[in-house]
Amino acid sequence: MNPSRTLQLSLLLLVSCSDAHAGSGSTARNAPVAAAAIVDEPLAESRRELLDVAFQAASALPIQPHVKTRSRAQGEVVEACFELAQPKRALGYAEKIENWRRGVAYAEYALYCAEHGDPSAAGKYVEVANEVHDKSVKENIQEWQADTIREAVAKAQARLEGGATAEAAREEPIAPGAVDESIEELEHAAATGNFDATRAALQACARLVGRCYPEKDRRSKLEASIQASWSKMPVLIQVEVMNEITGYALDNSDPGHALESIDESRARMEASTWMPQDKIPMLARLALLRHRAGDTGKARGEADAARALFEAERERIPSAERADALRPLAEAYHSMGETPEALRLYAMAVEEGAVNINARPRAEDLVATCCSMALRSIEPDAKLKARIQEIRGGLGDPW
């Protein structure tokens, strides 16, 4: 089965959910309302500066031959803007993306407008995103890239046609048969052994777990199917899916189930051998989840162990991967209220990201670190701010 089959089913479920909710008889939902002005919410200057530096670093990459890396990094900054309720800033950045990812960004802006009361702008940017899609298809982009634009457009279109706000959309009923269809898709993908299709189906089922979490029977059915179907997938993918489900448990005030999932993820990790650059961020993410579940003492111990592992194994970690290991650790300490330690680790990540002789990995690391700090409201001190600007200014040949 083609990997895009999972995406096609997901798009159908999106529209079905919207249609089902729109037909529920709620006159208030469908009553005409005045368009709201789409504006950026207030944001600390330090966070805006971090976003700007991140986008400047991404845009410093030359279009030829690095358009893929450049556009992906620019897209990361756009995503951070939406997370921080900065839609206008996101739109301004999106317009500078040179490849198909611009269509995804326009569709995400359309979705934001649809969720925040401006259907006219939402409709306009659905059309613009479709134009980017059509142009990109003529330029022979890969099928998964076209699918990514279509999926983003479908989400915006479904929200626009359903008239749902962001809050109402989270309450939309799951389309009839959605759970069984997703399980069937997962079982088929796992049976064929197609990696991409299985991973996409696992992620689709994990998202459904989040949507039907309070319904224990359906949720348990999905979780059982996930665990029965992932045996041939790498443990890293298994833990990623488990962590997503853990997050849904925490979102639904179920710390007991979350801790069970965290312990299972940890056991799966310990049963395998890892390179330190892979193990450290996994441990950090589990520590963050454990803290959210209320076991802060053990979470702190796990974070400390991950930090000690980095210090002991630093020389074995390729220079281009050291910052990737440090950022999740900084995020974990920040979540536990250890801001000075988080800032110290971010400063380490900035320095480690600047080691590589080539500017491309330096730019990618700077983008990721600045976005992470902006999302978590970590304000760099004067020394770190100057260092960030210095690294940004030093991006150039050799790439």
Q: Are 130 and 107 in contact (CB under 8 A)?
A: no
DSSP one-letter code for 38: -
Is the peptide bond preceding residue 62 cis, with omega within 30 degrees of 0?
Answer: no
* Backbone phi and psi for residue 124, each to the nearest 5 degrees, phi listed first: -60, -45
Amino acid at 44: A
* The pLDDT value given to residue 29: 31
| Across 72-93, average pLDDT | 98
Reported pTM: 0.84
- Cα 20 to its chain centre, rounded Å, is 27
How is 65-102 classified by DSSP, letter by letter? HHHHHHHHHHHHHHHHHHHTT-HHHHHHHHTT--STHH
What angle, rounded to 10 degrees, do the helices at 63-83 and 45-60 form?
160
Per-residue pLDDT band for 161 (boundaries 50, 70, 90) equals: confident
Render pLDDT for 96-133 as a digit per residue (tens, 0 to 9): 999 999 999 999 999 999 999 999 999 999 999 999 99
What angle, rounded to 10 degrees, do the helices at 235-251 and 216-229 form?
170
Structure tokens at 227: 């665990």
The Cα–Cα gap between 326 and 335 comes to 14
pLDDT beyond 70 at 306: yes
Closest listed residue to residue 350, CA positions, set 315, 387, 312, 319: 387
* Backbone phi and psi for residue 398, each to the nearest 5 degrees, phi listed first: -85, 140
The Cα–Cα gap between 22 and 175 comes to 12
Q: How deeply is 77 buried, as exposed, middle or buried, from its count of CB atoms within 10 A (0-12, 13-18, 19+)?
A: buried
- Cβ-Cβ contacts under 8 Å for 253 (sequence gap 6 or more): none
Q: Are 133 and 146 in contact (CB under 8 A)?
A: yes
Structure tokens at 204: 């689709």
The Cα–Cα gap between 27 and 108 comes to 27
* The pLDDT value given to residue 163: 63
- Other beta carbons within 10 angstroms of residue 85's beta carbon come to 15
| Across 365-384, average pLDDT | 97
Q: How deeply is 176 buried, as exposed, middle or buried, from its count of CB atoms within 10 A (0-12, 13-18, 19+)?
A: exposed
CA atoms within 13 A on the CB side of 68: 4
CA atoms within 13 A on the CB side of 189: 31
Distance spanning both ends of the chain, measured CA to CA: 39
Q: Which helix (H) or strand (E) holds 127?
A: helix 119-138
Render pLDDT for 12-71 as a digit per residue (tens, 0 to 9): 444 444 433 333 333 333 334 456 789 999 999 999 999 999 999 999 999 999 999 999
SS3 379: coil
Give the residue with greater pLDDT, 174 vs 343: 343
